Amino acid sequence: MMMNQDKRKIEMLYPATSKDLALEICVVCTGVLLPLIIGLDVLSDISGGWVGAVFRVAVALLFFGGAALVGFLYWRMFTARDFLWLNKERGVLLHGRWRWGWQAQREYPLSMFAAVAAEKVRDDYRGYYGRLWLESADGQNDLMLEENFLAYKGSLQGLDDIQSHIARTTGLANRPVINTEIRAQEETTADLSKLRAPKPEILPAWRQAVNLAAAGLWTWLAVWLLRWAADWHSGSLPKPLYFGAGLLALGLLAVAVSEVRSVFRARRGGKTRQTVGRQPSEIKAALEEARPEGHETQPHLPERSALRSEGETEFAVYSFAALLSRIPFLLLVLLILLGEFEFSQKWLFWLAVLLFAGWRLAYHWHTLHKARYNAQEDTLTVYRLRGFKWLPEKHYALSGFCGIYCREKYSSMGAREGEIWLAGKEGGNDVRLLKADFLLRDNRQAVVATAKKIARTTGLPLLEYIEPAERIA
């Protein structure tokens, strides 16, 4: 039902106060109107002709499309929010969403709750986030307001402010904040329900059309640049400029070819998926009849394929190039120190930079790991670099595992570290095989590439890890 009540008797509690929400809407409106104003001003200065017409269309798409995109994204976020209001006259909490007008889907008497509680969680795999809820008086019907309150600039002060605002407005008790740490483990109990066969990535039809249009645009620009570069003998511009235009044209052609290849791969993957996914209805019915009632079936995971290598093969998720690239920086800082013979604050600053960079380099050097696969023994051995020698650290027999998958972990500096895990069979354990750390860079692609190599070599199927619902950010 629509809320047709006296606004003075209604106060907003979550996700913000009424003033904060009004300020947020004003900022979004400014972000929508500003590109429109700039776009209209730019269009008024564009001259006629076919070149001006093309440029006018590009400007309209850029500024007007950007404004429409900002408004659309904010509208989607706004309508997905759960709002909490307090009806002071009735002593009722109104909980609902905005649907072209605010609608209260649920009503709760204020006497039903006893306190406002919050929790700050540091999760190695999810990062730093908060939870906010209303504690029920009977201890059984808590009202969850937020499961994933994201930190702003590494702080959850906003969560404290909202908790205090709700407690102050409603008169409920303000519980002390719960601080929870969820640390990553080297081994966890195997849970096949969190694993599934990876689905092929299929581009939607609109994305394929966009890729083909972009490929056509890059090709047109490349041809234009090549024709312009072919006129280098005219000498109107410096010859290096013509040479650079030719290189740029070749790069644009490579990008266009890549866009077309992605479309063909997507269409080929879509056909394969449709073919493989088909199953006769008779077989489905037989499987349903043969399934015992009340029995939860385990997900069907791919079987292990035949081995594709003999002897020993090594795998590593590290980059010596990334480590060695820091050495010129260390030499530069050392030269600066040698040039500054006078003892000063500047000299101390560069000395601290040198010591910190050297410590980080040594730390990453001593945390390097690699894995070696022995086909005769069907085992994976993890080695760690100790000084300048690789020493065995862990040993795993692949007969106890059913697959391999990747996960992402938040580091202490906010970067994401990719991890490769071995999926244990039912009744066993999942173990972390390798962890990538390219000096605080996101390294998901490198981890996935290494996991695919291990899967091809060992025959273990590459699986996809499904994050639990309470962990999804």
In this structure, the answer to whether residues 264 and 340 fall within a common structural domain is no
| Beta partners for residue 391, in sequence order | 384
Is the same domain home to 239 and 133? Answer: no
Instruction: Check if the beta carbon of residue 317 is closer than 8 Å to that of residue 371.
Output: no
161 and 14: one domain? Answer: yes
- Would 196 be classed as within a structural domain? no
Mean pLDDT over 317-338 rounds to 65
User: CA–CA separation, 101 vs 371, rounded Å?
Assistant: 58
Average pLDDT over residues 24-40: 87
Q: Residue 464's beta-bridge partner residues?
A: 196
Element spanning 254, H or E: helix 239-277
279 lies in some domain: no
* Claim to verify: residue 89 and residue 151 sit in the same structural domain: yes
Residue 117 reports pLDDT greater than 90: yes
The pLDDT of residue 270 is 56
Cα→Cα distances 318→116, 186, 412, 442, 446, Å = 46, 19, 19, 12, 9
Please tell me whether residues 433 and 350 are part of one structural domain.
yes
Q: Of 248, 274, 300, which marks where a domain is finished?
A: 274
Q: Is residue 165 part of a domain?
A: yes
Name the least confident of 66-70, 305-309, 322-326: 322-326
pLDDT above 90 covers a percentage of the chain that reads 8
**160-186, pLDDT tens digit by residue?**
989 999 999 898 999 999 999 888 888
Residue 288 lies in a domain: no
Average pLDDT over every residue of 370-393? 86
Same domain? For 461 and 398 the reply is yes
Does a structural domain hold residue 301? no
Q: What is the mean pLDDT of residues 378-393?
A: 86
* Residue 199 falls inside a structural domain: no
388 C-beta neighbours (distance < 10 Å), count: 6
254 and 388 belong to one structural domain: no
Specify whether the CB–CB gap between 203 and 266 falls below 8 A. yes
Predicted local confidence at residue 276, as pLDDT: 41
> What's the rounded Cα separation, in Å, for the pair 3 and 10?
10
Cis peptide preceding 15, ω within 30 of 0 = yes
Of 118, 149, 183, the position where a domain reaches its end is 183
The arithmetic mean of pLDDT across residues 84-96, rounded, is 87
> Are 409 and 433 in contact, with CB atoms under 8 Å apart?
no
More confident: 3 or 185: 185
Q: What is the pTM of this model?
A: 0.61
Whether residue 1 lies inside any domain: the answer is no
| Containing structural domain, residue 69 | 7-183
Q: How far apart are CA 143 and CA 116, in angstroms?
A: 10
Kindly state whether residues 135 and 63 are assigned to the same domain.
yes
Q: Which range, of 206-220, 222-236, 318-332, averages the lowest pLDDT? A: 318-332
Residue type at position 310: E
**Which residues, including other chains, have CB under 8 Å from residue 366's CB and lie 6 or more apart?**
385, 386
If asked whether residues 41 and 167 sit together in one domain, one would say yes
Task: Name the 3-class secondary structure at 432.
Answer: strand
Q: In the chain, how many domains are there? A: 3
Q: Which residue has the higher pLDDT, 280 or 350?
A: 350
Nearest to 132 by CA among 91, 167, 98, 108: 167
Does 431 have pLDDT greater than 80?
Answer: yes
The SS3 call for residue 9 is helix
Q: Which sign, positive or negative, has the C-alpha torsion 234, 238, 244, 249?
A: negative
Residue 115 has pLDDT above 50, yes or no: yes
Among 274, 303, 331, give the residue marking a domain's end: 274
Residues 248 and 328 in one domain: no
Q: Which two tokens stand for residue 283?
A: 């077989």
pLDDT at position 310: 61
- Together in a domain, 227 and 162: no
In the DSSP assignment, the letter for residue 403 is E
Q: Are residues 232 and 168 in the same domain?
A: no
In this prediction, residue 4 carries a pLDDT of: 42
Q: Does residue 117 lie within any of the structural domains?
A: yes
